[in-house]
Structure formats: C-alpha cells, structure tokens
Structure 1
Amino acid sequence: MTMLRLHRVEPTAELWAERATYDDRLIFHTEPWLRFVAEAQRAEPVLARVTDGERTVGHFTGLLTKRFGLRILGSPMAGWTTSYVGFTLDPAVPRRAALEALMPFAFKDLGCAHLEIRDRGLTPADLGGLGLRWSDAPTAVIDLTPAEDALFNGMASACRRNIRKATKTGVTIEEVVADPTFAADFYDQLRDVFAKQNLVPTYSIERVRTLIRHLEPAGHLLLLRARDPEGRCIATAVLPWYHRTMYFWGGASYREHQHHRPNELLIWYALRWAKSHGVTEFDFVGGNAYKSKYGTTEVPVPWARRSRSPLVATLRDAAKQTYTLKQKATARLTGAHS
C-alpha cells in the first residue's frame, strides 16, 4: 500500500451515495446529521476522500470552526452533542494509516491550529507516534441480534422489575411524529434532570429543535414519550438511528414521577423498536455506570487531539475548564436547585 492521502471534495448527490456504500458508515457521517451540527455550531463541514494512489479507499468527515481566531478541525469537538465521526474505510485499510494521513491534511492543507477526532474504529494502539494526546471515552452498547426474551433476561433483575412495574401501573409509550411540542417537553424535563445536580443544560432548546428539523424528514429519528396513567408526559427520549445502529442522544424525565419507572420502559420500547427495524446495535453514546443494568458491553473509544503548538493545547484545555465553571455558575444564577 502506498502512502494514503486526503483530498477535500464538495458534497454532491453522487458523493453521498458513494459514502453510503461503506459498511462502517454511521449516522454521524450523513448529510442530515452534518447539517444539524453545522447549524448548531456555526461550523463548516469538511468532506474528504481517502486515496491510495489513484484509488479511493475511504472518506473522512469533520467540521471546521474557529476559536480564539484559530481554525480548528473537529471530528467532533467536545460539547457538539455528536459522537464518533472520523473515517469510513475499506476493511483492508488500517485506520492508523488513515489517521496518519489526516495530520498533513488538517495542519497544512486546511491550515488548522488544532485537531480533535473520535473514530469508532480507532484503538489506543493506533495513536502512538503521531503526536496525539488522547483520553479514553468508552461507550456502552447492546447487541440486538439475540431474541427479544434473551435481551430482556440479559438486563439486571431490578431493571426487569422496573419495566414490569411501569407497565402494570399504566405507563404507556408513544411514538412522536411531526409534533412541534416535543422539544419543549424534552427540554423542560432535561432542566429538571440537571437541576437535581444544581446545574442547567449544556445546550439550549434550539439545539433539540435543530436536530429534529434535520433528522426527522430523513426518517432516521425515533422520538418517544412516556405518559403516566393520567396521560401526563413524564419522560422523553431522542434516538437517532441509521444503518445498523440506534443511538441514545438524550433522555429526560421529571423527578416527581420517577416512582412510575418510565425511563426503563422507554429504553425497552426503543430496543424492541430498533430490533424490529433491522437495527443490530443500540449505542448509549457513553459509558456511565447506570447503563450497565440494561446488559451493555463497554467498548473503548479514544478521543484524540493534536495542536500545532503547546500554546494552542493550553488554550484548548483552559477553554474546556472555563466552560465547565461557567455552566455551574449559570445554574446558581438561574436558581437551579435539587
């Protein structure tokens, strides 16, 4: 194999069709998702072919943005409420080779000062010797190929009891389509979730509306409401899906209705819905301990970054710390409480 190269290309119908032929494609590589992130982050999508000589062997997906007046290539960046982006590649192409080719593309061709990448196929072993810093950002997934009974029995006993309790007490799940009130329901419940920890949501309701506006027409978004026996909306879930995977983008519920156990029932409904639509994996997009009760398997996914200079790296770390402090301060100022 010759040295791989990346070549930026313009989006066309033919290009999107070509990208959709790769088996490792994710929803985060699709046109509707990139339009969502680009609008929410005021970023510019970057699409590139990966070539080996004259032959196309894959594609790269990222977005350009500016911080401190510097060009940054995110694939993705923290806080963008999107997950692994990175590459789609022919099976025979080593991801490390593609990652190595990304460096001159990002820092020379695009003139970036900073790069971040989280690619589902990358492993820590792929990162050595490339000047990258990285942190472990594992995710929890559920294999949906077993029979439905096996999926249910694979959950913790307490989780199964909660699903039965929710059903017995009259909690119902409804699929939401073309309902402009859903975003407000979800966001109000999200505020209640964050208030429990004296925090406020890290994004506005407009991001939820933007996601729905771009993903729903494409047919790759499942929106769910849980209602109590009186018909009140007590929990919601936002679940993008594409190809073989459904993703848990967000879920929220009111604390005062937790005794109905709507969250477990929402997830169980989503798992069965995904399985019935040919989806073979459910990805929680994160590895929090509470997710293990659903019978998950943890998958390591490194989040790698490289800066053109130590100063840029310091600015990046400072910006992340400032954002965290600002989020907590905003919660105090707005009176969020547990």
Structure 2
Amino acid sequence: MVISMLRLRRVEPAAALWADRATYDDRLIFHTRPWLRFVAEAQGATPVLAVVEDGGETVGHFTGLVSKRFGLRLLGSPMAGWTTSYVGFLLRPDVSRRQALEALMPFAFDDLGCAHLEIRDRRLTLGDLPGLGLQWDTAPTAVISLTPPENDLFAAMASACRRNIRKATKSGVVIEEVPPDDPSFAAEFYDQLRDVFAKQNLVPTYPIDRVRSLMSCVGPSGNLLLLRARDAAGRCIATAILPWHHRTMYFWGGASYRADQLSRPNEALIWHALRWARTRGLTEFDFVGGNAYKAKYGTVEVPVPWARRSRSPLLAGLRDAAKQGFALKQRATARLTRAR
C-alpha cells in the first residue's frame, strides 16, 4: 500500500472505536480508557482521540490530551511530568510513522488550536524526526525480554543482582500481591517514596493523590500489579507499582526505606514481577526510562525520542524555563520540609 496523504480527524469515544483500537498490534496500556481516565483526572486534561485516515480509510489512531498552561492550549501525547509514558499512534504495519507525525502538526495547531505539542511514541525512531520542525530528547528506556526460560532470565542478571535476590529470601523478605482497593497501599508507597527522594535532598514530584487515582482508575481493569515486600517481622519495607497490557509490563514506580535496603527488597520485587509477567504470557518488561542501576537486571537500552514543537520560539523557551523552575521549586520545598 502506498500512502499518499494522511490526515487526522478527531472522533468521539464509542464502543466501536475502542474495539477497533484494540485490534492494533502496537497498542499499549497508555492507549486504553482506564489509563486515559487516570491521566485526565490527575492533570485536569481533556482526552483527544483521532483516527488517522488515508483517502477516507482509517489506517490508525492517535491518542493525546489537551491541557491549559499560561492560558495556552497544549497537546500532550504525553507531556513531561504526567507520570505516563509513550502514547502517540496506533498504526497499521504498512503506515509510515513519520508521515503520521507530519499529519499531526496541522491537526494539533490548526484543528485543535494548540500552541504547543509533545509526543513520545514507542515506535518512533530518531530517523523519523528531522525536517519536521521538531526538537527532541533521545529519552532511552531499559527493557528486558521475557521470552527466555526463567533460569536464563535469572542468569542474564549481574552476579551481584542474583546474590541480592537470594539474600532477600534468606533475610525473610516476602513479596505480597496487593489488591488495587487496599486502603493502606498508597500511603505505604508514598511514605517510602518520600524517603527515596530525601536521599537526594528532594521531595516527590507528584502528590499521593496521583497514586490513589492510578489505583482507582486502572485497578478495576485487572491491568495493575501492586507488590509489597515485608521483612521477617512482617513490616512493609518496599513497594512497586506495575501496570501491564497486551505484551508488556511497565515499571511505574517503586520505593523502599533506606534503612531496610540491606535486605534487598527492591531486587526481590523486580524478580517477582518478571516471573509473574512471564507466566501470564507477557514478552517484555519495560522500566520506562534509562538508568545505570537498571542494567544489573540484564536490560537492553532502546531509544524512544520525546519530540516537541511550539508555535513560536518564545513558547519553547517558556516550556524549558518551566521545567527548570519546577526543579528549583522541588529543592526549595525539600529545604522547607527539613527545616520544620
């Protein structure tokens, strides 16, 4: 099939639309109704669904949300700070992602009247971006293939990581699977998260209500694994939040108390999640971001560009200034918290 000209057309959510979106092989949890409900609730944003058409024939879908900042309409797919990951397109295998991205520009700026656009699409490549007036960050992620046998999966980890998993077992660490309506889980996770950030003299980048919203919106779908690590005395010392869908499990967040990290609960949580996902037919574990410490689990780094475009250079500058201002505010809040 030769694609001559793609266009995006906004559509209202309907059962038939969701059913069609569920047939695309590149679908992610971030394209689903429960996940969009979570992001919309947490960000005060309005979901935008569009079909990608070629000559009137639907060849894909686009997912985003519109929010307002400084009186300007912003289209995020997603925006930075939304604690969600790759959204972007669902496309038939024979449809060019670059051409879909090119068609997104008039849709975002003309049809929706937005002043700024950001997109992170799991299958976009760096080669898709030049010549479209975009700025981008490479934003790699670390992934683990779950297709090897369990013994091979374990052997692919660094030797120190394997020792830590064994140490957790010998120390009496027990991993529990937590129902999404557990009233204590969000508070446990967030208290541990504060301890994680305090190590760097920072405070968490989002409130506890973000965790509660995720649990209430996505939990009922059955696509949210919540894990709790208890020590030998039965005390909760670490937690993890892991959405999953189709082929992939994602690491949304994990936290533990610094004083209990010698028991190695974090490694035990990840190892439990990997085995849980593998036994349910998932084929990939995505850490949703790159970091040196993740390499010990036998990860492979995958580049996923985060692209953006503004109507004017001034707007682009405001976006970068806002990002820097948030970091300064976070450090200032941490100083005030310690002073109390």
> Fold-level match, TM-score > 0.5?
yes
1:336 deviates by 7.8
- State whether structure 2 residue 290 is matched by structure 1 residue 326: no
Alignment of 1:15-164 (within 5 A): 15-164=17-166
- State whether structure 2 residue 211 is matched by structure 1 residue 200: no
1:169 deviates by 1.5
Q: Secondary structure at the match of 2:90?
A: strand
CA distance in 1, matches of 2:4, 2:140: 32
CA distance in 1, matches of 2:42, 2:339: 25
CA distance in 2, matches of 1:254, 1:291: 19
Q: How many residues align?
A: 337
CA distance in 2, matches of 1:303, 1:252: 26
Structure 1 counterpart of 2:277, one-letter code: A
Structure 2 counterpart of 1:64, one-letter code: V
Give the match for residue 268 of structure 1: 271
- State whether structure 2 residue 304 is matched by structure 1 residue 301: yes
Give the match for residue 244 of structure 2: 241
Q: Secondary structure at the match of 1:150?
A: helix
Q: Secondary structure at the match of 1:335?
A: helix
Structure 2 unaligned regions, length at least 5: none
- What percent of counterpart residues are identical? 78
Q: Secondary structure at the match of 1:256?
A: helix
Give the match for residue 291 of structure 2: 288
Structure 1 counterpart of 2:33, one-letter code: E
1:160 deviates by 0.1
1:180 deviates by 1.0
CA distance in 2, matches of 1:169, 1:310: 56
The match for 2:15 among 7, 13, 16 is 13
CA distance in 1, matches of 2:103, 2:194: 42
1:269 deviates by 0.1
Structure 2 counterpart of 1:321, one-letter code: Q
CA distance in 2, matches of 1:17, 1:233: 40
Give the match for residue 315 of structure 2: 312
Q: Secondary structure at the match of 1:257?
A: helix
Residue by residue, what CA displacement relative to the aligned partner does 1:195-224 show, whole Å, maximum 9, x if unpaired?
001000000000000000011100000000
4+ long deviations beyond 3 Å: none
Structure 2 counterpart of 1:117, one-letter code: I
CA distance in 2, matches of 1:225, 1:70: 41
The match for 1:277 among 272, 280, 302 is 280
Coordinate RMSD, CA, aligned:
0.9
CA distance in 1, matches of 2:316, 2:194: 32
**Contact 1:123/1:300 (CA < 8 Å) preserved in 2?**
yes
Structure 2 counterpart of 1:138, one-letter code: P
Alignment of 1:210-221 (within 5 A): 210-221=213-224
Give the match for residue 180 of structure 1: 183
Q: Secondary structure at the match of 1:334?
A: helix
**Contact 1:195/1:336 (CA < 8 Å) preserved in 2?**
no
1:36 deviates by 0.1
Structure 1 unaligned regions, length at least 5: none
1:15 deviates by 0.9
**Contact 1:138/1:298 (CA < 8 Å) preserved in 2?**
yes
CA distance in 2, matches of 1:209, 1:126: 37
